[in-house]
């Protein structure tokens, strides 16, 4: 389709039954993947660590090939992803967040999908519209909802400036030409020949094929300077003019209206369940509000009363809550350095309070408002950008010393406040690291850029101990509502080193104490604990709720990494300072959950 005028949304949704939104998005488990890096139709042999580790580095030619392949299309497809839905369902995934799949410039290597050239077509590297529809239909039949990553503030590199690539100064720059199918700046920027340049040249649909679509102010240099970060280009990705005005009186541009219509089309066509909106920081709140309002109202006409839109919001909890309330976004991603704190608390490098205080010390959360961050904050550690690691990107297990604590990190992610999200490959222990994003975007299915520096090996090992543990934890989260929505309290502990009750802290290189917290719902307490020590069993007294428990009351072990402890009972005892507590022991790298009886 060349134009949004060809969209007939009323006809498209005629006599079609759409999947209803889930009642509680906050009770789901999200899984994020890059389509190009996840699966294709032809899977390589399963990876064997003993024989295949770093098989791509055995000679200089293979090594160079592996490194260069990471910046190119590797070959993952929508059909390949569809074939792996059972793998994801078995893992416990209920929401699949997939990277952008719309058409990229044909001359680009935008395997990540974030540089769109045509908002009404699927990139052929990924497949076609039918493949998307089939993916969603089969996912729904397995109880998995589909969330698509969407972009409205920038496009691909679809034009060239008159003077190379200028930096932002606040002024508008002259454009030499739109790029043709070969990437050459040859298309008249004032009166482009639409018929001659469809579909590979310029930008589509044709309502976007105009200089007025873009701010044309050069690339961003200062990412914290407003309005520079709203008006400037993302390096070569061209910034789109979304409109002007304050949030309550925003005038959406023709470009924003056009893109919004395009995304309505994809909801109606494929029966999508939600969006993850990219780079909300770089959008005016009015633009975000216009988009979310239009999309949600349209989704309601399809019977999707709770179409979920996550915004990538950087900043603190107060800022995220304000933006969500201003704009209608359902949830925030990337706030308060959640990935950094979650990872480093699990590894023992940060004190427990660094992570738990994100959810308890917010000035905007008064009594009873704990539900806001349960329902409106996405929590994860590894991801495809790792923006807090500016110079050197590294997955959790790239740190060999603390890699054995990965299961503890998953335990923390699944059983603390917020909506947990898993980055693909975490369940297989991917350990990518390096001075480029590509090293944390390894291929799951094999090909030229496989994980663990391999080629032609796949990583869908359902017997992997990490996969099995994640599956088990997902099952517990599904079974016990406290673990999903219970009020959360970081607990004080006492031990042989410090008999006074205190919060566990990182002293010296690492935290070497048990970290414990409670999830309380309807007078029932679940106590959870992890041991960050790599080679030592630890024992501690842990405070439990004095109002709920008397001396002699019992807790039962629901789960433990030490299997023979499951089902055993612990008695509430008096602590040194008169607190009711439990005495618990955890093996090195251990985890446990206790339920009040």
Q: What is the pLDDT of residues 202-247, one digit of tens each?
A: 999 999 999 999 999 999 999 999 999 999 999 999 999 999 999 9
Comparing 160 with 375, which gets the higher pLDDT? 160
> Of all helices (H) and strands (E), which one includes residue 140?
helix 129-141
Residues 365 and 513 in one domain: no
Q: What is the pLDDT, as a whole number, of residue 368?
A: 53
Q: What is the pLDDT, as a whole number, of residue 577?
A: 80
Q: What is the pLDDT, as a whole number, of residue 365?
A: 44
Residue 43 sits at the vertex; the CA angle it makes with 41 and 45, to the nearest 5 degrees, is: 170
Q: Pairing state of beta strands 243-244 and 185-187? A: unpaired
CATH at 500: 2.60.40.1180
The answer on pLDDT for 106 being more than 60 is: yes
Q: What is the pLDDT, as a whole number, of residue 371?
A: 66
Average pLDDT in the 49-72 region? 97
Residues 13 and 143 in one domain: yes
Structural tokens at position 312: 């990538």
Structural tokens at position 96: 């699949």
Which of 456, 479, 502 is at the close of a domain? 479
Average pLDDT in the 367-389 region? 81
Q: At what angle do helices 317-327 and 285-301 cross, to 10 degrees?
A: 50
The answer on pLDDT for 361 being more than 60 is: no
Which of 241, 265, 296 is at the close of a domain? 241
Residues 456 and 436 in one domain: yes
As a whole number, the mean pLDDT across the chain is 95
Q: What is the pLDDT, as a whole number, of residue 388?
A: 84
Average pLDDT in the 160-181 region? 96
The answer on pLDDT for 366 being more than 60 is: no
The answer on pLDDT for 306 being more than 50 is: yes
For the segment 474-506, what is each residue's pLDDT rounded down to a tens digit? 999 999 999 999 999 999 999 988 889 999 988
For the segment 260-301, what is each residue's pLDDT rounded down to a tens digit? 999 999 999 999 999 999 999 999 999 999 999 999 999 999
Task: Categorize the per-residue pLDDT at 546 as very low, low, confident or very high, splitting at 50, 70 and 90.
Answer: very high
The answer on pLDDT for 200 being more than 70 is: yes
* Overall pTM > 0.95: yes
Residues 226 and 300 in one domain: no
Residues forming a β-bridge with 542: 493, 582
Percent of the chain beyond pLDDT 70? 98
CA distance linking residue 470 with residue 465, whole number of Å: 9
Average pLDDT in the 352-372 region? 68
Q: What is the pLDDT, as a whole number, of residue 13?
A: 92
Residues 530 and 474 in one domain: no
Q: Pairing state of beta strands 524-531 and 514-521? A: antiparallel
Residues 448 and 345 in one domain: yes
Q: What is the pLDDT, as a whole number, of residue 370?
A: 58
Q: What is the CA radius of gyration of the chain?
A: 25
* 208-243: burial string, b at 16+ Cβ within 10 Å, e else: bbbeebbbbbbbbeeeeeeebbbbbbbeebbbbbbb
Query: Comparing 275-279, 304-308, 386-390, 539-543, which segment has the lowest mean pLDDT?
Result: 386-390
Structural tokens at position 186: 């040859």
Q: What is the pLDDT, as a whole number, of residue 1?
A: 94
CATH at 419: 3.20.20.80
**Phi, psi at 144, each rounded to 5°:** -110, 130
Average pLDDT in the 70-94 region? 98
**Phi, psi at 504, each rounded to 5°:** -65, 135
Total domains present in the chain: 3
Average pLDDT in the 434-463 region? 97
For the segment 379-388, what is each residue's pLDDT rounded down to a tens digit? 999 999 988 8
The answer on pLDDT for 511 being more than 90 is: no
Q: HSE on the CB side for 131, CA within 13 Å? A: 21
Residues 286 and 397 in one domain: yes
Task: Categorize the per-residue pLDDT at 362 as very low, low, confident or very high, splitting at 50, 70 and 90.
Answer: very low
Cis ω for the linkage preceding 465 (within 30 of 0): no
Residues 306 and 453 in one domain: yes
136: Cβ contacts below 8 Å, ≥ 6 apart:
146, 270, 271, 272
Residue 307 sits at the vertex; the CA angle it makes with 302 and 313, to the nearest 5 degrees, is: 150
Residues 25 and 136 in one domain: yes
Name the percent of the chain in helix, strand, coil, to the closest 5.
35, 20, 45
From 441, 99, 415, 404, select the one nearest 396 (Cα to Cα).
404
Q: What is the pLDDT, as a whole number, of residue 369?
A: 54
The answer on pLDDT for 335 being more than 90 is: no
Average pLDDT in the 349-359 region? 91
Residues 469 and 492 in one domain: no
Give the three-class secondary structure for 13. coil
Residues 270 and 227 in one domain: no
> Of all helices (H) and strands (E), which one includes residue 298?
helix 285-301
Please report, for residues 94, 221, 471, 472, 498, the alpha-carbon distance to residue 477 in angstroms, rounded to integers and kept in the order given.
12, 44, 10, 9, 33
The answer on pLDDT for 109 being more than 70 is: yes
The answer on pLDDT for 192 being more than 80 is: yes
Chain centroid to CA 126: how far?
Answer: 20
Which of 479, 506, 541 is at the close of a domain? 479
Structural tokens at position 80: 């390949």
Residues 414 and 492 in one domain: no
Q: Pairing state of beta strands 274-277 and 308-312? A: parallel
Structural domain span for residue 198 = 155-241
Residue in this structure with the two tokens 């052929």, named with its chain if needed:
124
CA distance linking residue 17 with residue 282, whole number of Å: 36
Chain length of the chain: 597
The answer on pLDDT for 367 being more than 70 is: no
Q: What is the pLDDT, as a whole number, of residue 395?
A: 98
Q: At what angle do helices 254-270 and 285-301 cross, to 10 degrees?
A: 30
């Amino acid at each position: 389709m060349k134009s949004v005028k060809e969209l007939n949304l009323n006809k498209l949704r005629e006599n079609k039954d759409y999947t209803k939104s889930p009642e509680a998005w906050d009770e789901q488990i999200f899984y994020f993947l890059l389509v190009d890096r996840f699966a294709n139709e032809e899977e390589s042999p399963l990876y064997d660590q003993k024989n295949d580790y770093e098989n791509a580095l055995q000679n200089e030619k293979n090594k160079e090939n592996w490194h260069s392949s990471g910046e190119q299309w590797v070959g993952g497809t929508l059909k390949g992803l569809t074939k792996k839905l059972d793998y994801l369902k078995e893992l416990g995934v209920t929401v699949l967040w997939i990277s952008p799949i719309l058409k990229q410039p044909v001359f680009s290597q935008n395997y990540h999908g974030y540089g769109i050239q045509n908002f009404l077509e699927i990139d052929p590297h990924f497949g076609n519209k039918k493949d998307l529809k089939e993916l969603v239909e089969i996912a729904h039949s397995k109880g998995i909802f589909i969330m698509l990553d969407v972009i409205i503030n920038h496009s691909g590199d679809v034009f060239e400036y008159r003077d190379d690539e200028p930096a932002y100064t606040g002024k508008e720059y002259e454009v030499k030409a739109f790029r043709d199918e070969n990437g050459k700046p040859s298309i008249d920027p004032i009166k482009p020949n639409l018929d001659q340049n469809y579909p590979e040249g310029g930008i589509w649909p044709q309502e976007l094929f105009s200089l007025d679509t873009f701010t044309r102010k050069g690339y961003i240099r200062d990412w914290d300077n407003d309005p520079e970060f709203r008006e400037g280009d993302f390096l070569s990705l061209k910034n789109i003019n979304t409109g002007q005005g304050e949030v309550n009186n925003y005038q959406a541009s023709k470009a924003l209206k056009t893109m919004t219509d395009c995304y309505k089309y994809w909801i109606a066509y494929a029966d999508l369940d939600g969006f993850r909106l990219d780079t909300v920081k770089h959008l005016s709140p009015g633009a975000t509000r216009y988009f979310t309002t239009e999309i949600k109202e349209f989704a309601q006409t399809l019977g999707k009363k709770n179409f979920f839109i996550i915004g990538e919001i950087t900043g603190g909890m107060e800022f995220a809550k304000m933006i969500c309330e201003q704009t209608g976004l359902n949830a925030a991603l990337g706030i308060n350095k959640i990935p950094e704190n979650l990872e480093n608390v699990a590894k023992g490098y940060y004190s427990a309070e660094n992570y738990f205080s994100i959810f308890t010390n917010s000035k905007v959360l008064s009594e009873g408002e704990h539900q806001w961050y349960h329902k409106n904050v996405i929590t994860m550690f590894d991801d495809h950008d790792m923006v807090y690691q500016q110079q050197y990107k590294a997955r959790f297990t790239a740190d060999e010393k603390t890699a054995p604590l990965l299961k503890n990190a998953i335990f923390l992610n699944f059983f603390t406040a917020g909506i947990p999200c898993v980055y693909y490959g975490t369940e297989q222990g991917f350990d990518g690291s390096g001075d480029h994003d590509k090293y944390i975007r390894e291929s799951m299915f094999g090909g030229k850029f496989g994980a663990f520096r391999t080629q032609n090996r796949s990583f869908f090992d359902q017997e992997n101990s990490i996969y099995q543990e994640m599956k088990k934890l997902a099952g517990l989260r599904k079974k016990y509502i406290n673990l999903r929505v219970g009020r959360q309290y970081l607990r004080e502990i006492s031990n042989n080193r410090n008999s006074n009750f205190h919060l566990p802290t990182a002293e010296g290189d690492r935290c070497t104490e048990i970290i414990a917290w409670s999830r309380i719902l309807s007078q029932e307490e679940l106590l959870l604990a992890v041991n960050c020590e790599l080679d030592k069993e630890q024992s501690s007294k842990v405070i439990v709720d004095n109002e709920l428990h008397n001396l002699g009351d019992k807790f039962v072990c629901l789960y433990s990494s030490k299997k023979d402890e499951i089902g055993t009972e612990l008695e509430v005892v008096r602590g040194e300072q008169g607190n009711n507590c439990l005495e618990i022991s955890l093996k090195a790298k251990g985890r446990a959950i206790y339920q009040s009886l």
